[in-house]
Chain A
Amino acid sequence: MAQPPLSDAQLIARAQVEDDRHAFAELVRRHQSTVRACLRKLTAGNHALADDLAQETFILAWRNLQSFRHEARFSTWLYRIATNCWLADARKRKEELLGDRVDELADDESDETLGSDALGNDPARATTLKLDLERAMSALSEGERAAIVQCYHNDLTHEEAAYVLDLPVGTVKTHVLRGKVKLKAALAAWAPT
């Protein structure tokens, strides 16, 4: 009879107490998709940078695993590390203009299925809207972008997002509100008539 898969808590305990690298590898396998996707949103679709930051995230998670006290879900803790990595990187370098990636994004059909309902009635329109949304997101401040990604794309509550971003809950809500106002203005052409 096949053994049921170990829970995240069991894998973490093995990695912490027994220095079990196989357990940590399983944790990486389970969470790599969500962490990489989160970073792709934060980096405005820069896949290479997102994967580099994701690697850095998991290496930092390994180094600091002893300090994880289950005060939040493991995935939420990973988002916190990932967001800090992204912030540190964004402050070190100039952000590339999204315009350089127009062709790359238009040709990229490998990792996301374009919906045809709310995002547009045809794939071409959906691609354009997606591009405009990414451009508008990249124009937000770091705090606003991070808050919207955590609350919408990672589906965290405001309290969880506050933990990830290390900000008061009120500040997170303000960032989300201001971010949406800016997005609404930037995407006014897409507003329903």
Chain B
Amino acid sequence: MGADVNVLLRPAHVNAMTNERNSLRVQPEPSTNGENWIERLLFDDAREHRDGYLADDGFTARVMGKLPATVAPPAWRNLALMVMWGAVAIAIATVLPQVFVDASREVYKLVAAQPVSLSGIGGALLAACALTWGAAAYTFRAAD
């Protein structure tokens, strides 16, 4: 009777966990012969231990109250990140001017060799916007 009441008082998820554990149990119940009495004692004590349920009684709330607080990044951090990335790009362009000029020339040749159209210009602008937005979104997301 006590065990039945215990099951009724336990939250449903606890009963589900207990049933799953019982179905997976590999240790058979020990027999009650004389030599096995310590095994039987431990087994019965353990079963009583497992069937019992300790009510929360505010335990979860106390744990959550003691978790370290989330540290919000300062507001200037996002701007600082974008300025930093911009500075890195300018530094690279400055340090390697010849490489930058050569690459730009090749890109221009590639682009100039193609017939220029309004749709082409629009597509290029869209691609540039998408890249810029993606970089900004990644920067802000990483900052969170």
A→B interface (CB under 8 Å): 5, 19, 21, 24-25, 28-30, 32-34, 36-37, 41, 51, 54-55, 58-59, 62-63, 75, 111-115, 117-119, 129-130, 133, 148, 151-153, 155, 157, 180, 183-184, 187, 190-192
Tell me whether B40 and A180 are in contact (CB under 8 A).
no
Tell me whether B52 and A111 are in contact (CB under 8 A).
yes
Tell me whether A180 and B67 are in contact (CB under 8 A).
no
B→A interface (CB under 8 Å): 2-3, 6, 11, 13-14, 17, 21, 25-27, 32, 34, 37-46, 48-56, 59-60, 62-64, 66-68, 70
Q: Which residues of B lie under 8 Å from residue A118 when comparing CB positions?
A: 32, 40-41, 43-44
Which partner residue on chain A sits nearest B21 by CB separation? A155
Question: Given contacts A5-B13, A54-B59, is CB(A113)–CB(B48) below 8 Å?
Answer: yes
Tell me whether B52 and A183 are in contact (CB under 8 A).
no
Query: Complex formed: what's the CA distance from A36 to B63 in Å?
Result: 13
Tell me the number of A-to-B contacts counted with CB atoms below 8 Å.
110
Query: Complex formed: what's the CA distance from A126 to B60 in Å?
Result: 32
Tell me whether B2 and A30 are in contact (CB under 8 A).
no
- With beta carbons under 8 angstroms apart, the residue of A21, A55, A153, A192 that contacts B37 is A192
Going nearest first, the 4 A-B pairs with the smallest beta carbon separation are A118-B44, A152-B46, A113-B2, A33-B54
Which partner residue on chain A sits nearest B54 by CB separation? A33
Tell me whether A153 and B63 are in contact (CB under 8 A).
no
Which partner residue on chain A sits nearest B50 by CB separation? A155
Say how far B119's CB is from chain A's closest CB, in angstroms.
40
Tell me whether A29 and B45 are in contact (CB under 8 A).
no
Q: Which residues of B lie under 8 Å from residue A148 when comparing CB positions?
A: 42
Q: Which residues of B lie under 8 Å from residue A115 when comparing CB positions?
A: 44, 48
Question: Given contacts A21-B64, A28-B60, is CB(A113)–CB(B3) below 8 Å?
Answer: yes
Query: Complex formed: what's the CA distance from A143 to B21 in Å?
Result: 24
Q: Which residues of B lie under 8 Å from residue A62 when comparing CB positions?
A: 67-68
- With beta carbons under 8 angstroms apart, the residue of B13, B48, B64 that contacts A28 is B64
Tell me whether B44 and A187 are in contact (CB under 8 A).
no
Which partner residue on chain B sits nearest A183 by CB separation? B38
